[in-house]
Structure 1
């Protein structure tokens, strides 16, 4: 799974370019060896003397009034220290939520989805806690289910949330719609008259789970000051804090949060899971309380990717120029809002894809239903839209008799393109080029399963199940490209904070970087050290554990952390550097006139001129002094989309990736083997090329999963999840993962630190439609849903 790199506009590094382990080098993760040897401490590994175990009782029905709750048997059990229901919550504030505080800490009055938390238990052993929770008797009176757009928006529909008062109520046509965002530009109806060809499609995108391997877990420890210390795996410490403190009835300074080892996230840890429950039980019992979800409970304890229905129409002239696009995107948000408003914003504003279309008519909505709550997952909103608009491009190319890549290149956006929202793309947008690169790559050899030594069934559809030896196996090739925004959007104050300290320890200059960034596997722990080495010219950098004793870093999501928190680290390092040089000028400036110049660098623990003359050792400069600066950094401001027209500069940056998928399909058995998923992506600047490669290949594999195997199945009659385990919810293993060659472009964005571009999500967009396109190419079938199952290929 090798890679190639192409550098475009260079980015000048003004500090520490000779320091080992700086920007542009492939430095290894400090936690890498511990993780692969099983020695890394995850949040589920935490332990405290005399701690209790927490357990959550969850609803057994999806929509019902709570008639009564009897906790007497549970309380009477030996080893049980506390049982809590809604009536035991200590503060007036009893709801939480990322944007809309519509999620109750514990169900009150009614439950809105299967698996909703109803009661809590703390006991001296996890099995005791589970048995006690099972003894709580809840009487329900079931209510009608809301499960789709028809049932949600009917004039007489039962309301999932009665008495809504949030800010979105003023612009939605029905209380069961969380948020609606139209985008209107030009006149799609008039433009359609100029089209020689019009294609329409209805697409279904299944509910995907983040499927992180480290379960939701944490440890809450009551403190002597009446507060609580929480050690937890999360994506956003300060957002958690803002939601936790009010429902505990505590000021934020008495809720101290520290990031524990995170076993993957992908958006599923943006929402609260066990955090509040553990704190409540710890404060109630006066003892440390640990909560660890099992895999079954994990499927109910976090949000999933929004399933979607997408309705698209595209028109084109006979030579392939796009004339117009109309679409409606319906996202199922489930019982609570979570990130649904932001998902709607992304889905609508990116629904055209990386193409130039002057006349568009777009509508995206998210529903409240009694299905499982959905929220953030890698590439949210843009992933669902990309699946549909790329299928449309293939459908249009087929009707025009054009090559599907040439059609895309003909209509590809570029730097300076005006988006349907009225925003100008003001950084490189090499859409046509990345398509050219994946297309020009040599195809893998045919019939790889055959060799002189016999058949290698691992290379065949069905793999080691030995279902075929090549009979009925057909090859297909497909292409896709996508556009993803980077960072928080629509006027959100997207900033991060970094505290950087520089001092001398044991005769060596050392930098310490302290942020609240959640390291969830993306590699910030390497990048922050690389930035400090580059800017401060030191080799020894310590990364302080992330906690809430420093300002917010925002969420580890939206491909934003390297951009925003990396920018904050760079900013703080620059301020520290200037302070260190100021100290040096004060101490040594009179001895050497070069100290007075502006162009002084820090390299390898020394102060040098831009000509390379060494002026002094940092050890001598700092001596008994240290410099510590905490500073914020913000990217350029964005603005909300107009709620009637969708116009506005809603995003700060865009990233682009293209895929070519090569698949082999057993048309008799309906089995698919993805042989190769070639990628080309512009990353602006590869701060750590090895990490860049891992992010691109990881995102590609997640897109593969939703293409051919991953889907949470919800029973439409009961709104219950039918496959809440990794036995029945399948994710790609190493045997399913194809060769993923990566072509990395580095075309700097002048507005971003080092010219970098967020990279983590873009490959997740285009890998799914590329795989579907390849399967269509092999079978000739329409295939308008994800994931593709065997019965879709065989008609059985």
Structure 2
């Protein structure tokens, strides 16, 4: 499995000292990559062992080996200093980011660029200084992770907005509103971006949903030792690799001998649902039926170069590619149908199952009829293109042009005895252009939301002197079905099509979840979260400082050997 067959081929060619044409990569779709397969993992060892033995080779890693060798998201330390007027308008924003990239650079520079770009998020701030450092250490190798540095910096930024609101005595949503970007504002780096109402739309969702949640929210719970809280967060997330990045794409459409429309692309299915999206987009943009389409991915001998399945780009690139292919494809197909049916091209149109009469709609020639008539001269169109980038050539490397937006409202229940945090509600409004596959859209956002919960509350690959302490899923905890709360998604459809089609939603559902949960924890117990994942011992200590009523389990006779246990009150509630 891989996110980039042609990328694997290029790197293996360098490792083996071979021309790329000698190497064929055949990948298999995977249920989820989350960035971890955008770089080489076992491929070089497989190739070298296969060459050394002259036999097929399979590598099967234990969980501990997988943990040790697999890529991790970049741990980041982020400092922010923000100045604002009394009315909540932000005047200055100073940010310092230090990212631990481990022993190798891999995608560290690109991840850092993305974090630097998104350090101001969807807010318009006149005076900004952001300094980012990617640092080599003896820790595990860090690389691409779902969100690509946006998760870490958004956690810091949205927490900063909440602290600013608290210091000014202004509602957190209102502080955001007073600094939000408008429809035609520039991007975070001052670059021209596609005009969008996405920011306003997701903020309106957050306002509506928060009010709804608050209307049914109660302070008390089943126990006096529980507190409930509500938190919000918003995000603006760039799609594609950005300016001056190798973000080329392309695709091929051809009629097969058995009368199917074959769509071939060089990116991969890695859990984002592009295999299901391609026929749906083809039906819309090529005026065919879903059943008319065959999809070819994952074999460098059969597909054109289309770049990597990363940066939430694949679905959008299918849309752009098919839009550009349509005129030539239509011309070739109608020309062939006109010969077969002895009709004028102007009287014909593409349609489900074949070519139809333009006015009456009757099927004139099926795709199978056309394939039989074409013989060896089957219609085919292939194009190469590039992901849309800002026209401002002066802009910083990696600057994005297309953005998606999300707003999150999180509900939590905090146990005052154990400091366990349970997410009881997670609601997301997402603006990402049109929806191609409704079920896939929901799956991506809900799955991303659960992954964001793990990022916020559980997942931590601990290291000690350069070695992983966490080696299995008994200590590296991930959310299970029992942890999934009530979830709601509102897909915010643009009022007017902007000419850029759907944005991918593989990442946007994860990015703003952690800061919303952190805000909800603060709402519940008044503790500001400064590090992820949230640790129960830290929460207990902070609650004790605040004078909450807490209990600590200890032996009743104060002896370590005792098996009789009682409770000791360690702090009194001021209320």
Q: Please tell me the TM-score bracket, short chain as reference.
A: 0.7 to 0.9
Question: For 1:700 and 1:354, how far apart are their aligned partners in 2?
Answer: 20
Alignment of 1:691-702 (within 5 A): 691-702=440-451
**2:252 corresponds to which residue?**
499
Q: For the structure 1 residues 240 and 504, does the alpha-carbon distance in structure 2 shift closer, same or farther, using more than 3 Å as the test?
A: closer
Question: For 1:401 and 1:687, how far apart are their aligned partners in 2?
Answer: 42
Q: 1:750 aligns with which of 498, 503, 527?
A: 498
- 1:279 to 2:27 alignment: no
**2:568 corresponds to which residue?**
none
Work out whether residues 268 and 376 of structure 1, in 8 Å CA contact, stay in contact via their aligned partners in 2: yes
Q: Give deviations 1:559-612, integer Å, cap 9, x for gaps.
A: 0011124433454455333211121234445x4x5x336xx5311224335544
Q: For the structure 1 residues 702 and 673, does the alpha-carbon distance in structure 2 shift closer, same or farther, using more than 3 Å as the test?
A: same
**How many Å apart are 1:727 and its aligned residue?**
0.8
**2:213 corresponds to which residue?**
443
Q: For the structure 1 residues 614 and 357, does the alpha-carbon distance in structure 2 shift closer, same or farther, using more than 3 Å as the test?
A: same
Q: For the structure 1 residues 711 and 676, does the alpha-carbon distance in structure 2 shift closer, same or farther, using more than 3 Å as the test?
A: same
- 1:266 to 2:34 alignment: yes
- 1:628 to 2:380 alignment: yes
**1:423 corresponds to which residue?**
191
Work out whether residues 429 and 656 of structure 1, in 8 Å CA contact, stay in contact via their aligned partners in 2: no
**2:2 corresponds to which residue?**
234
**How many Å apart are 1:482 and its aligned residue?**
0.7
**2:570 corresponds to which residue?**
none
Question: For 1:633 and 1:569, how far apart are their aligned partners in 2?
Answer: 11
**1:541 corresponds to which residue?**
293
Question: For 1:243 and 1:503, how far apart are their aligned partners in 2?
Answer: 32
Work out whether residues 422 and 648 of structure 1, in 8 Å CA contact, stay in contact via their aligned partners in 2: no
* TM-score using structure 2 length: 0.87
Q: 2:352 aligns with which of 604, 614, 627?
A: 604
Q: 2:454 aligns with which of 674, 685, 705?
A: 705
Question: For 1:582 and 1:493, how far apart are their aligned partners in 2?
Answer: 36
Q: 1:763 aligns with which of 509, 527, 536?
A: 509
Q: For the structure 1 residues 511 and 735, does the alpha-carbon distance in structure 2 shift closer, same or farther, using more than 3 Å as the test?
A: same
Question: For 2:168 and 2:33, how far apart are their aligned partners in 1?
Answer: 42
Q: For the structure 1 residues 276 and 449, does the alpha-carbon distance in structure 2 shift closer, same or farther, using more than 3 Å as the test?
A: farther
Work out whether residues 354 and 413 of structure 1, in 8 Å CA contact, stay in contact via their aligned partners in 2: yes
Alignment of 1:150-169 (within 5 A): none
Q: Give deviations 1:121-160, integer Å, cap 9, x for gaps.
A: xxxxxxxxxxxxxxxxxxxxxxxxxxxxxxxxxxxxxxxx
Work out whether residues 511 and 532 of structure 1, in 8 Å CA contact, stay in contact via their aligned partners in 2: no
Q: 1:672 aligns with which of 421, 431, 441?
A: 421
**1:731 corresponds to which residue?**
478
**1:395 corresponds to which residue?**
163
- 1:552 to 2:305 alignment: yes
Question: For 2:415 and 2:363, how far apart are their aligned partners in 1?
Answer: 70
Q: Give deviations 1:697-733, integer Å, cap 9, x for gaps.
A: 1111111111111111112xx1211112111111111
Question: For 2:297 and 2:3, how far apart are their aligned partners in 1?
Answer: 14
Alignment of 1:60-71 (within 5 A): none
- 1:655 to 2:404 alignment: yes
Question: For 2:277 and 2:511, how far apart are their aligned partners in 1?
Answer: 24
**How many Å apart are 1:627 and its aligned residue?**
1.9
Helix, strand or coil at the partner of 2:32 = coil
Q: 1:527 aligns with which of 268, 277, 282?
A: 277
Q: Give deviations 1:403-452, integer Å, cap 9, x for gaps.
A: 111111121112211234221332314223312213312228557998xx
Runs of 4+ in structure 1 off by over 6 angstroms are 447-450, 639-642
**How many Å apart are 1:621 and its aligned residue?**
3.9
Work out whether residues 249 and 387 of structure 2, in 8 Å CA contact, stay in contact via their aligned partners in 1: no
Structure 1 unaligned runs (5+)?
A: 1-232, 451-468
Q: For the structure 1 residues 560 and 311, does the alpha-carbon distance in structure 2 shift closer, same or farther, using more than 3 Å as the test?
A: same
Question: For 1:373 and 1:615, how far apart are their aligned partners in 2?
Answer: 58
**1:210 corresponds to which residue?**
none
Helix, strand or coil at the partner of 1:402 = coil
Work out whether residues 114 and 398 of structure 2, in 8 Å CA contact, stay in contact via their aligned partners in 1: no
Question: For 1:503 and 1:371, how far apart are their aligned partners in 2?
Answer: 51
Helix, strand or coil at the partner of 2:102 = coil
Higher normalized helix content (fraction of residues): 2
**RMSD of Structure 2 on Structure 1 (CA):** 2.3
- 1:790 to 2:536 alignment: yes
**1:243 corresponds to which residue?**
11
**2:241 corresponds to which residue?**
488
Work out whether residues 476 and 778 of structure 1, in 8 Å CA contact, stay in contact via their aligned partners in 2: yes
